[in-house]
Structure 1
Amino acid sequence: MADSTDYLTAYAGRYRDMFPVRLATIAAIVALTFWVMGWGWAAAFGLFQFGLYVPLWQAVQTALARPDAPAAARRFRRSAEIVTLCLASHNAVFILAAWQAQPQHLDYLRLLLAGNLMVGAHQVHVSRASFVAAVLPPSIAAMVIASYQVGSDPRLLGAVALFVVGVIAAAWRQWRSDRESIELMSALSERSRELRAALAEAEVNRSAAERANKAKSRFLAMISHEVRTPLNVILGLTEVLRGRPRPAAETTIVTDMADAGGMLLRLLNGALDISKIESGQAELQLAPVDLAGRLDAIARIWRSRVEELGLTLEIERQGSPEHFVVMTDEARVEQVLINYLSNALKLTPHGAIRILARALPASDGRIDLDFEVHDQGPGVPGDQRERIFEPFEQLAAGRAAGGTGLGLALCRASVEALGGALGVRSARPGGAVFWFRFTADCATPAIDSSHAAPALNLPDRRPRILAAEDHPANRKLLTLLLEQFGVQLTLVENGREAVAAVRDQTFDLVLMDVMMPVMDGVEALVAIRADEAASGGRRTPIHMLTANVFDDDVARYRAAGADGVLRKPIEIAALQSVIMGALLADA
């Protein structure tokens, strides 16, 4: 500590601060000495004292300018000790000499000696040696004068000794207090530097995290667009097929396609929602769900994969069918079941995987739901059962089977969002049981009308709809979907063509893709709104039809003038609602 730059800077600063008081004290002594003893004694005292403060000032300035120089603390300490010894010794010798030359001024000299002792003892001292150098010469001089005066009476000598000891003791306590305060200041300065360094590092890490988060957002937006675009075609064509009569065998196949596509879409939405899940801001999408039917659909779609692996899949339900119909977030429940089932398939070498679902009425009239997935894998050690639900945490068997280590963390976030709990326990005779449970309100089964022929109460004229879409498969899909509604459809391939079409014709509704060549959808939207504002003409309903549906994206579309956003894959009911809304607004 004594050699630290903070310690040196603190002491050098205190020496610098004492200069005005010390120099003013010397000047006052010089003036008083001139008055009492004449100019010769005053000049002798002043010149020597002022002269000694010159090297001390230089030592202080050097220490403050380069506190981190090699051996800087040692040089400053030695300089201060030498100058202090010279100052105190000069004071003592000066007073003894003046006493011998002019003994009639002894009272003045005694007071001057006592004052110098007290000032020297209580001034700043960088070390014990400096303190001793300040108090020893005047103490010796005081005892010499007292010894000469005492004669046969030792009481005066004792009183002087007691005075000197008292001054030294009080000054010693102050020096220790000063030293401790400077050590505390040095420690605080060091801690402050560490905190500033930590803050600077945290700022660097925050900037890196922000860049990583932006990169993640761009990546997720790209994944969202690239996956939703073909998925839009698959699900859209499936809905078209479901609306047409066909043999029962083909109907089952189309239904399985629709169920699998719906699961894929919900899994995609859950995975892309990871940012909200991590921040605890994920919102539940509550709707009536038949969880028994969802479980059957999952088993039906995954059964072929189970059979490929030489395993068997058993489903057991406990509870009345109506108790499985609840208000919940279908995607969250489905996500957990599929992740549990996927892990069981990866970890079970042979045998059966069993899914158990219970739905029992709770005391408050709600429904307690409990799901378990039993596998016959290596199991999970007791001390690892909490850790595996943390992001990127995997057991050795899980790493060997592949995966990112995010699946169970997403399950945990989803179940907690549902207000439930999850975990894992050992199975008998071997394996593991992954479970989750939550409570939900009862619900009435929703009527599935997605495959029914759409029915719109259209006006006498056929509604005119403009669709801007650069992807050929999506244009074909829009044609198939909208022809069911009996509309006049105009298709363009980029934003510039959309702007030109709106200038030339009147449309009841514009469906605008976002990512298009030549001019993107947002630029086209802004251009159309600018034309409407300049001409004072009718405001055309414009809905963005896009795979980029993050909250920031939707806010950007709205700010540019969009009336709404339809996400890809297209939901028939949502499309029908947008068309009806545009027609009613124009009525």
Structure 2
Amino acid sequence: MIQKADYIRAYADRYRDMFAVRLTTIVAVILVAAWVLDWGWAANFGLIQLGLYVLLWRTVEIARTRPEAPGAGRRFRLRTEWITLGLASHNAVYILAAWWVRPDTIDYLRLLLAGNLMVGALQVHISRRSFLAAVAPPSIAAMIIAANQPQATPTLKFAVALFVLGIIAAAWRQWRGDRETVELMVALTERSRQLQAALGQAETDRAAAERANKAKSRFLAMISHEVRTPLNVILGLTEVLRGRRRPKAEAVVIDDMAEAGGMLLRLLNGALDISKIESGHSDLQIAPVDVAARIEAIARVWRTRVAELGLTLEVVLDGDLADFAVLTDQARVEQVLINYLSNALKLTPAGTIRLVAQARPQADGRIALSLEVHDQGPGVPEDQRERIFQPFEQLAAGRAAGGAGLGLALCRAAAEGLGGSVGVRPAEGAGAVFWFRFTAPRAPVETDAEAAPTAPTPDAPPALRVLAAEDHPANRKLLALLFQSFGLDLALVENGRNAVDALRADRFDLVLMDAMMPVMDGVEAVRLIRAEEAVEGRPRTPIHMLTANVFEDDVARYRAAGADGVLGKPIQIGALQALLEQTAASAVPA
């Protein structure tokens, strides 16, 4: 019994397809009847057959348009079976009646009977009963005619029976083929529906992913801005202090502050860049890195915290490691080591944490580096060693220590960005060894002069006039201190509207514009300044964005508005000095 709407619709379509052939057959029979018998017989055949086909047409259309209606399959099956029986029975009775009245037309009637048997048997049938209804009446009529002819011999009767059975066998095979065709059509329809649903779901997922990506971008932009703004003040003031004469003890503390702040900034950049690292589109900042010096600097910054927890930090460096530098991304290396050390401090209740580094030259001239952090914590079960490097996956000890489950995922992403790998193995005795391995080309070690941090120096010409738009009071204070050390004329305003008004009233050699400000943001202010310069014919004032929002999309937006460049926060003193020197060299002082 047909139940599914797809089967009903498929069979209804097959019935529709056969109407043209059946109606052509009826017209042919009508013409033959009018020629052999008379128009009365022809009219009788045509009216009854066409009337039954009208009923069949309505049945098929109802099934096609309402296949989901309750009981639609059963009604469709029963009606087509009865109509098929009516069509076949009328054919058989009609030919028997014509034979009875006009026995001289027997040859024509045999041909009509054979044709009707073949057409009826080979048409679409929804069930076995429908097939039986189509072939039984004409088969019986053929046997009656063969049995009641005076000249009929057993051989003729056998031949007729064989002919009928042959037609029935061929029609049965055709019926099975029709069923398989319908099942295939239904399967294709179902598959098409599944594909459409999958495409719809994929589109929904894509839209959701886009929304999530936009939300992530907004979140990262907010985190970047909110963290970089105070970090800008800390690092900027540290650089100001480093440029002044201090007792040696204070200078060491300030250097440690600058070192810690730089590590924090690099960690922030790495964390914000994890999606790019995982997608393989991260831009590595490749530069000569003295790995031994970086490890010593990390250990120096962390020893205070280690001592507060009653632990010991031991650094073990390969003897050859201090003799060279490698070309790699310093921020990625630091990110892995700092995360490893942070986890070790959380999970080691007492004892010693060891930071071990080894370097081995390779045949191709590269250096294979192995960095390890040995803790004395609870260790990592073997079946969990891969899982903990997945985002938000952590052991019970990590959750108890307050971790978010992102640190080791960041380590793996950073290592893979460098073409390396990370992992964990059991430590001797107790604890775990978290390792990080990568290879890098060898590079010359920087001299002390090259590696020394750049302190602010009053090298820029004092004739330059600079306008800075900055809404954050601490950042305005920092800019005032920096430009005081440069000996430059600096005008400070609190928003983009004030910057536009200041440029209308006076000339400046350079504008430093924050992006996010009240009243009027920096992008809108830059756009308005460029428009007014074009309308009034004013000289183009160099404008550089000074902002914590330095994602690629942000930079493209600033450039599109008319900005000449971007300085990120925290302010890099060297980059600021280079900009001032470039401005002084290319502009006539205001």
- Kept after mapping to 1: 8 A contact 2:240/2:456: no
Please state if 1:511 is matched with 2:520: no
- Kept after mapping to 2: 8 A contact 1:462/1:486: no
Matched AA of 1:153: T
Displacement of 1:451 = 4.3
Displacement of 1:323 = 4.3
Pick from 450, 455, 459 the counterpart of residue 453 of structure 2: 450
| Matched residue, 1:488 | 489
Deviates more, 1:332-341 or 1:359-368: 359-368
Displacement of 1:127 = 0.9
Residue by residue over 1:468-510, the C-alpha shift from the partner in whole angstroms, topping out at 9 and shown as x without a partner, is 1111111111111122222111111111111122122221111
- Kept after mapping to 2: 8 A contact 1:323/1:442: no
Please state if 1:90 is matched with 2:90: yes
Please state if 1:177 is matched with 2:180: no
SS in 1 for 2:533: helix
Residue by residue over 1:499-555, the C-alpha shift from the partner in whole angstroms, topping out at 9 and shown as x without a partner, is 122122221111111111221111111111112111222111110000111110000
Residue by residue over 1:382-436, the C-alpha shift from the partner in whole angstroms, topping out at 9 and shown as x without a partner, is 2222222222222222222222222212111111111112211111112211111
Deviates more, 1:127-136 or 1:497-506: 497-506
Matched residues in 1 for 2:399 and 2:160: separation?
86
Matched residues in 1 for 2:278 and 2:456: separation?
41
SS in 1 for 2:149: helix
| Matched residue, 2:285 | 285
SS in 2 for 1:149: coil
Change (3 A) 1:156 1:319: farther
| Matched residue, 1:352 | 352
Matched residues in 2 for 1:361 and 1:23: separation?
89
| Matched residue, 1:235 | 235
Change (3 A) 1:2 1:311: farther
- Kept after mapping to 1: 8 A contact 2:458/2:487: no
Please state if 1:462 is matched with 2:469: no
| Matched residue, 1:129 | 129
- Kept after mapping to 2: 8 A contact 1:450/1:572: no
| Matched residue, 1:247 | 247
Displacement of 1:453 = 4.7
Matched AA of 1:496: R
| Matched residue, 1:59 | 59
Matched AA of 2:345: L
| Matched residue, 2:161 | 161
Q: Which runs of 5+ in 1 are unaligned?
A: none
Matched AA of 2:275: S
Displacement of 1:304 = 2.2
- Kept after mapping to 2: 8 A contact 1:344/1:353: yes
Please state if 1:109 is matched with 2:109: yes
Q: TM-score if structure 1 supplies the norm length?
A: 0.97
| Matched residue, 2:440 | 440
Matched AA of 1:251: A
| Matched residue, 1:555 | 556
Matched residues in 1 for 2:171 and 2:492: separation?
96
Residue by residue over 1:228-261, the C-alpha shift from the partner in whole angstroms, topping out at 9 and shown as x without a partner, is 1111010000001111111111111101100111
| Matched residue, 1:7 | 7
- Kept after mapping to 2: 8 A contact 1:526/1:560: yes
SS in 2 for 1:435: strand
Question: Matches of residues 192-341 of structure 1 in structure 2 within 5 Å?
Answer: 192-341=192-341
Displacement of 1:201 = 2.2
Matched residues in 2 for 1:343 and 1:564: separation?
39
| Matched residue, 2:566 | 565
Matched residues in 1 for 2:11 and 2:400: separation?
63
| Matched residue, 2:575 | 574
Deviates more, 1:308-317 or 1:236-245: 308-317
Matched residues in 1 for 2:345 and 2:452: separation?
34
Displacement of 1:43 = 1.8
SS in 2 for 1:342: helix
Matched residues in 2 for 1:178 and 1:324: separation?
80
| Same amino acid, percent of matched pairs | 69
Deviates more, 1:33-42 or 1:191-200: 191-200
Matched residues in 1 for 2:135 and 2:381: separation?
73
SS in 1 for 2:18: helix
Matched AA of 1:222: M
- Kept after mapping to 2: 8 A contact 1:66/1:72: yes
Matched residues in 1 for 2:496 and 2:305: separation?
44
Residue by residue over 1:141-198, the C-alpha shift from the partner in whole angstroms, topping out at 9 and shown as x without a partner, is 1111112237573111121112111111111111111111110110111122122222
Matched residues in 1 for 2:96 and 2:202: separation?
65
Matched residues in 1 for 2:278 and 2:72: separation?
52
- Kept after mapping to 1: 8 A contact 2:289/2:330: yes
- Kept after mapping to 2: 8 A contact 1:323/1:361: no
Deviates more, 1:190-199 or 1:540-549: 190-199
Matched AA of 1:353: I
Matched AA of 1:133: A
Q: TM-score if structure 2 supplies the norm length?
A: 0.96
Matched residues in 1 for 2:226 and 2:456: separation?
29
| Matched residue, 2:190 | 190
Displacement of 1:568 = 0.5
Matched AA of 2:457: P
Change (3 A) 1:52 1:457: closer
Matched residues in 2 for 1:49 and 1:531: separation?
87
SS in 2 for 1:320: helix
Question: Matches of residues 383-422 of structure 1 in structure 2 within 5 Å?
Answer: 383-422=383-422
Matched AA of 1:570: I
Deviates more, 1:545-554 or 1:31-40: 31-40
| Matched residue, 1:31 | 31
- Kept after mapping to 2: 8 A contact 1:379/1:431: yes
Residue by residue over 1:431-464, the C-alpha shift from the partner in whole angstroms, topping out at 9 and shown as x without a partner, is 2111111111222334134244526263xx6111
Matched residues in 2 for 1:241 and 1:551: separation?
32
- Kept after mapping to 1: 8 A contact 2:456/2:573: no
Matched residues in 2 for 1:236 and 1:304: separation?
23
- Kept after mapping to 2: 8 A contact 1:450/1:573: no
- Kept after mapping to 2: 8 A contact 1:324/1:359: no
- Kept after mapping to 2: 8 A contact 1:323/1:367: no
- Kept after mapping to 1: 8 A contact 2:12/2:63: yes
| Matched residue, 1:75 | 75
Please state if 1:522 is matched with 2:523: yes
| Matched residue, 2:546 | 545
SS in 2 for 1:377: coil
Matched residues in 2 for 1:380 and 1:397: separation?
10
- Kept after mapping to 1: 8 A contact 2:466/2:511: yes
